[in-house]
Amino acid sequence: MVDDKPWFVLNDIVKQYPGVLAVNHASLSLLPGEVHGLIGGNGAGKSTLIKIMAGVVRPDRGQILMNGERLDLHSGNDAYRYGLSFIHQELNLVPYLSGAENIFLGRPYPKTRFGTIDWKALNRRAERIMLELGMRVRVDVPVSRLTRGEQAMISLGRAFVGDARIIVMDEPTASLTDEEIRNLFRVIRELKARQRTVLYVSHRLDEIFEICDRVTIMRDGSVVGVYPIGALNQSEMVRLMIGRSLGESIPPAQSRAGRVFFRVEGLAGGLVQGVRFDLREGEILGLAGLVGAGRSEVLHLIYGSIKPQRGQMWLDDKPFSPRSPADAIRAGVALVPEERHQQGLVLSRPVLQNITLPALDRFAWRSLFVNRAAEQSAGQKVAQQVHLKAASLDQKVNQLSGGNQQKVVFARWLQTRLRMLLLDEPTRGVDVGARFEIYRIIRELAAAGIGIVLVSSDLQELLGLADRLIVLREGRQLADLPAAGLSQEALLHYCYGEVPCE
């Protein structure tokens, strides 16, 4: 087969959902041995197109062709038989099964000579796959006990079972560390050398430039162009994706921080062993550190979702010791969690209910009657503030695109009376346009006097937004420094526990 003849084609695909034309006459063609990027804003239709490839969603029209032959995909199993393998954005793991069981789900498990399942052999096989991927993760415990990053690795492992010819990755790096991303890219290059095809979805354009050969750009359900990488620069790409250019910078702080209203002393629990800081009204405090440094744990200790073993907190000079998130929310302390699927959203409920959930008592009269009109109009307002793309506020959250789900989590806190907002990777999975909207919202909240504690693995984001930084390493606090003038390199040196070289 000649290399420039597509072996897989999606032709003129249409998918209409009630109120949303998710995919609008889109076509995609993949060559053997290429890494093909698929990019577009939140809700552009990328995941829908991928679910159609996987046979999980039926298109209203259009054809799927492999080597010129028409495929009729009715289920994920059909796609697997044709050599297609997927890492979906939602990972789709079975939480109570082990990593090894998830990796080989739907494939024959190894048997002992008595005909029972050979668990040891199963685990060994799974371990070997993870080892080849260069990823360290336990495969013998239920995946519900793993972090989101570890779950992503299991999901990657599953995609590499069998000898798939086309591997589709929908935002695979969303919760991987730098080192894991390096490993993933190494594996992708190997696949390419073996003439396999990778379809790669990401909002991180630097990744697209690094790993892809060609890119298909979508906007509002349509394909707006297919380009060899290098034919476009980053800002041309952004313009095609979101229909406008971006002022690339993070908005500057609008006001000086006010008085200290929150203090933490000797806080310990989970991984964290002794953290202390003051937070001023309107201040943005960044928590820096490597994955596993205990950054998220600090947020959860403050939020009452992890019980502190030691330490004290004061809010407005009064001791603050929330026994649950409900306590924290009552005191005006909110969290946008990393695990939005588990902790952030009620997926099967409409957008509006998810937005108004924590603030419901404001709309209730004697807690019995919810004032629908007021709820609706407040919901509309915040939905617009975060540029939410949904058919209506009655749409269920699990029908929104990944990035728009993140905006719902954010939206709910915009109309609650807040003192302090804890943000854990707030822009993960969010497109470039919306990312800057979120930066603007964070700045506005700070300008309104809300104290913000920010965890982000994106150093540019962290340094661009934070006034001050706490550096954590293996649960210990190494430094408390002003962010101004600090370079990414210097910060990384701190994170690795080295003296920064200026």
> Minimal distance in Å, beta carbon 234 to ligand ATP?
17
The residue behind tokens 């779950």 is: 151
Contact status: 402 vs ligand ATP (CB under 6 A): yes
The residue behind tokens 């591997």 is: 167
Contact status: 344 vs ligand ATP (CB under 6 A): no
By beta-carbon proximity to ligand ATP, the closer residue of 44 and 257 is 44
Task: Give the one entry of ligand ATP, Mg ion, none that residue 44 binds, where binding means its C-beta sits below a cut-off of 5 to 8 angstroms depending on kind.
Answer: ligand ATP
Q: Which two tokens stand for residue 228?
A: 């060899």
Give the integer Cα–Cα distance in Å for 27 and 71: 15
Q: Helices (H), strands (E): how many in the chain? A: 17, 22
The dihedral built from the CA positions of residue 441, 443, 449 and 452, taken in this order, carries a sign that is positive
Give the integer Cα–Cα distance in Å for 431 and 42: 6
Piece of the chain touching ligand ATP by CB under 6 A; list 157-165, 180-188, 394-402, 481-489: 394-402
Q: Count the residues in the chain.
A: 502
User: 48-77 as b/e, with b when 16 or more CB fall inside 10 Å?
Assistant: bbbbbbbbbbebeebebebeeeebebeebe
By beta-carbon proximity to ligand ATP, the closer residue of 41 and 289 is 41
| DSSP H or E stretch at residue 290 | none
Q: Residue count at the site for ligand ATP (CB under 6 A)?
A: 21
Q: Which own/partner pairs from 319-326 qualify as long-range (CB within 8 Å, at least 24 positions apart)? A: 320/262
Among 43, 55, 172, 475, interactor with ligand ATP by CB under 6 A: 43
Residue 369's identity, in one-letter code, is F
Contact status: 47 vs ligand ATP (CB under 6 A): yes
Among 11, 14, 17, 265, interactor with ligand ATP by CB under 6 A: 17
Among 98, 123, 202, 404, interactor with ligand ATP by CB under 6 A: 404
By beta-carbon proximity to ligand ATP, the closer residue of 54 and 481 is 54
The residue behind tokens 């919810």 is: 370
Residue 107 DSSP symbol: S
Contact status: 20 vs ligand ATP (CB under 6 A): yes
Contact status: 221 vs Mg ion (CB under 5 A): no
- Evaluate whether 157 touches 99 at the Cβ level (below 8 Å): yes
The residue behind tokens 């697209």 is: 208
Residues 405-464 close enough to bind ligand ATP by CB under 6 A: 431
Residue 111 DSSP symbol: B
Contact status: 45 vs Mg ion (CB under 5 A): no
Residue 474's identity, in one-letter code, is E
Residues 395-424 close enough to bind Mg ion by CB under 5 A: 401-402
Q: 3-state class of 311 per DSSP?
A: strand
- CB within 8 Å of 163: residues ≥ 6 apart: 83
Among 9, 28, 32, 42, interactor with ligand ATP by CB under 6 A: 42
By beta-carbon proximity to Mg ion, the closer residue of 151 and 401 is 401
By beta-carbon proximity to ligand ATP, the closer residue of 58 and 128 is 58
Which among 454, 388, 399, 452 is positioned nearest to 421, based on CA atoms?
Answer: 452
User: x/- string (CB under 5 A) for Mg ion, residues 88-117?
Assistant: -x----------------------------
> Minimal distance in Å, beta carbon 233 to ligand ATP?
21
Residues 57-76 close enough to bind ligand ATP by CB under 6 A: none
Contact status: 185 vs ligand ATP (CB under 6 A): no
Q: Which positions lie near ligand ATP, rule CB under 6 A?
A: 17, 20, 22, 40, 42-48, 89, 389-390, 399-404, 431
Q: Which spans of this chain sit near Mg ion (rule: CB under 5 A)?
A: 47, 89, 401-402
